Structure formats: C-alpha cells, structure tokens
Amino acid sequence: MMRAFLHQHFPVLDGEMDDILQETYLSLCNALPNYRYEPEELGSFHNYLTGILRNRALRALREREKALDPDVLQVFRGIVRQRS
C-alpha cells in the first residue's frame, strides 16, 4: 500500500522509494507508542500513515533540489513558468 501510494503520487522518486519507506517505518515505530486511534477526532490511521509518507517524499524532493546546480535549477524553473 505504501509503495503504491509513492508510485502514484511521487513517481519521480522511484529510485529513492526504499529509503523513503525505511524512514517512514522508523518514524512510525517512534510515533506508535504515543499514537491514539481516535478516528472521529484525528482521522483514520491510513491518513496518518500517508501523511508521514507524503512528508518524507517532500523532504526527499527538497533534498534533491538542494543538490542541483543553482544555474540548472534557475533554467528549470523558467521552463516550468513558461508552461504555466
């Protein structure tokens, strides 16, 4: 389920999915002792889990962006703006 979520929402991170899943498992193990299942107040566990996955994937995208050459990044952003 988690891998399918990442494939569907973050296909550009295909090569980093194992790392993202491992980080998600670690976060989940750390958070579960304090987690209270109250779907009426906090929402479903599925939403909680996909939120962790989404945040880990977004962090991976930000790290990837930081690693890019600033000149290349500026050109890429210009191309994206032109398409909008």
DSSP track, 49-70: HHHHHHHHHHHHHHHHHHHS-H
Which tokens sit at 33? 């002792």
What is residue 43's predicted lDDT score, i.e. its pLDDT? 81
Q: Which pLDDT value is given to residue 67?
A: 77
pLDDT computed for residue 72 by the predictor: 66
pLDDT in the model for residue 44? 85
Q: Residue type for 12, please?
A: V
pLDDT for the residue numbered 37: 82
Measured in residues, the chain has a length of: 84
Closest by Cα among 8, 6, 25, 26 to 16: 6
Predicted pLDDT at 79:
65
User: How far apart are alpha carbons 10 and 58 in whole angstroms?
Assistant: 9
pLDDT along the chain (84 residues), means of 10: 91 91 94 85 84 93 80 67 63
At 50 the pLDDT is 92
What CA–CA distance (Å, rounded) separates 28 from 18? Answer: 15
